[in-house]
Structure 1
Amino acid sequence: MIRLLLVDDHPVVRTGYQHLLEQDGDMTVVAQAGSVDEAYAHFVAHEPDITITDVALPGSSGLDLIHRLRERSAQARTLVFSMHDSEMLVHRAFELGALGFVSKSCAPDSLIEAVHSALASRRYLSPGLPQHWLHSAARAPAFAQLTPREFEVFRLLSRGESPAECARVLHLSPKTISNLQSQIKEKLGTGTSAAMAHLAISHGLIPPGNT
């Protein structure tokens, strides 16, 4: 039996795809979570075979969850299941160690296929998304310079969160956030918060009008 952890901030969505996955007969959902911290605690407690997470979560994102799980265990298998499916996000998820990226607009069977692929430690990209994204390195060179922590701080700041809120969400000191903010601006060549937001929007990291 494949043991799954589902992470999405909408309980109805979690219930829906729990039903879908468990219908397959060889999967069981051992825990559900609506935030990164809750998901991390369940991962530690239940040690699921695969964690399926959305990108957009309250506070810290699913990308940060992938990073935290991989830091805890190099064998952690994760899938992203999200309506946000830009090339930048797909590439970043794979870079952080995700084994699959499934768009919420795809056929339900794709999520089941992704689980079996992840169990075999094979990468999976749902039909409808350009399959060359699995192998491309088309990420903007500037983003390649950001560490996973810097990327998460960038994402939070670009969507309008204050440095103090970033510190709270990521469990870091305000001084650390301030230092990271300076490093990010230098690496990306963005002198203002508006410039950071524009860059994030242009690469599909946040939707227009999010800030």
Structure 2
Amino acid sequence: MSQSINVLLADDHVVVRSGLKRLLEQNSEISVIGEAENGEQAYQLYAESSPDVVVMDLSMPGMGGLEALRQIIGDWPDAKIIIYTMHENTSYAIQSMAAGAMGYVVKSGPTDDLVNAVRQASVGNKYLSADMAQKVALNSIAVDDDPAQKLTARELEVFRLLAEGMTTEDIASHLDIGLKTVANYQTNIRQKLDINSPVELVRLAIKHGVIT
């Protein structure tokens, strides 16, 4: 009998978490030992339960998935984290893998993808779903102005929210940070990406698939 793979789920939607738990636990060797609804909770539960694998969403209120990934890997370099998200763009995949994720799986893909990713990550192998792997390979050929290459995890998150049309106030409340902090991120984003108007920002976000 192979040893159980203990998994921590982090997603802000209860329905998604219960669906994932069911999906994963159909496999006798996988056991879900904890559930978090935001990045802060994921970090805390990781510290408490030392799971074998974390399956984490990117877009959560407060500390998002990328920031939580960065902090967990920062404190536990051997942590095995899979990003499981609806974001099918390469920017997020590249940024996640660069930050230390073991896998990047899109929610719209086959359900087997996530189970395979958990199994692979548990033995130390990286996993990208097939279509993401192809997109990342193509994307790495042309990365001149790719936001994923130039922005930090938090800046990329703010960049996406700005591109989606959120105001500074909206972003501050969504991410649970101060208005001044958001303004600083905006300045950094404009400088790093050399953009001078909201229209340019949206155009760049669409070009790199950060928004559709």
The TM-score normalised by the length of structure 1 is 0.83
Q: Percent of aligned positions with the same letter in both sequences?
A: 33
Q: Distance in 1 between matches of 2:82 and 2:5?
A: 14
1:88 aligns with 2:129: no
Q: Distance in 2 between matches of 1:40 and 1:102?
A: 20
Q: Distance in 2 between matches of 1:100 and 1:49?
A: 14
Per-residue Cα deviation, 1:144-193 (whole angstroms, up to 9, x for no partner):
22233322332233333333444455555443432332121011121223
1:64 aligns with 2:67: yes
Corresponding residue for residue 49 of structure 2: 46
1:201 aligns with 2:210: no
Q: Distance in 2 between matches of 1:77 and 1:112?
A: 14
Written as runs of structure 1 = structure 2, the 5 A alignment for 1:178-193 is 178-193=183-198
Corresponding residue for residue 120 of structure 2: 117
Q: Distance in 2 between matches of 1:65 and 1:118?
A: 18
1:147 to 152, 173, 195: 152
1:37 aligns with 2:49: no
- Paired letter, 1:184: I
Number of equivalent positions: 207
CA shift, 1:22, in A, is 1.4
Q: 1:153 to 1:22 in 2, by over 3 A?
A: same
Q: Gaps (5+ residues) in structure 1?
A: none
- Paired letter, 1:199: L
Corresponding residue for residue 78 of structure 1: 81
CA shift, 1:115, in A, is 0.8
CA RMSD of aligned residues (A): 2.5
Indicate the SS of the match to 1:141: coil
Written as runs of structure 1 = structure 2, the 5 A alignment for 1:3-14 is 3-14=6-17
Q: Gaps (5+ residues) in structure 2?
A: none
Corresponding residue for residue 18 of structure 1: 21
Indicate the SS of the match to 2:51: coil
Q: Distance in 2 between matches of 1:136 and 1:118?
A: 24
Q: 1:180 to 1:139 in 2, by over 3 A?
A: farther
Indicate the SS of the match to 1:106: coil
Compare 141-150 and 92-101 and name the one that shifted more: 141-150
Contact kept? 2:61, 2:175, Cα under 8 Å: no
The TM-score normalised by the length of structure 2 is 0.83
Contact kept? 2:12, 2:37, Cα under 8 Å: yes
CA shift, 1:98, in A, is 1.0
Per-residue Cα deviation, 1:34-59 (whole angstroms, up to 9, x for no partner):
22233223222222221111223335
Q: Distance in 2 between matches of 1:134 and 1:68?
A: 27
Q: Distance in 1 between matches of 2:194 and 2:82?
A: 32
Corresponding residue for residue 159 of structure 1: 164
- Paired letter, 1:30: I
Corresponding residue for residue 99 of structure 1: 102
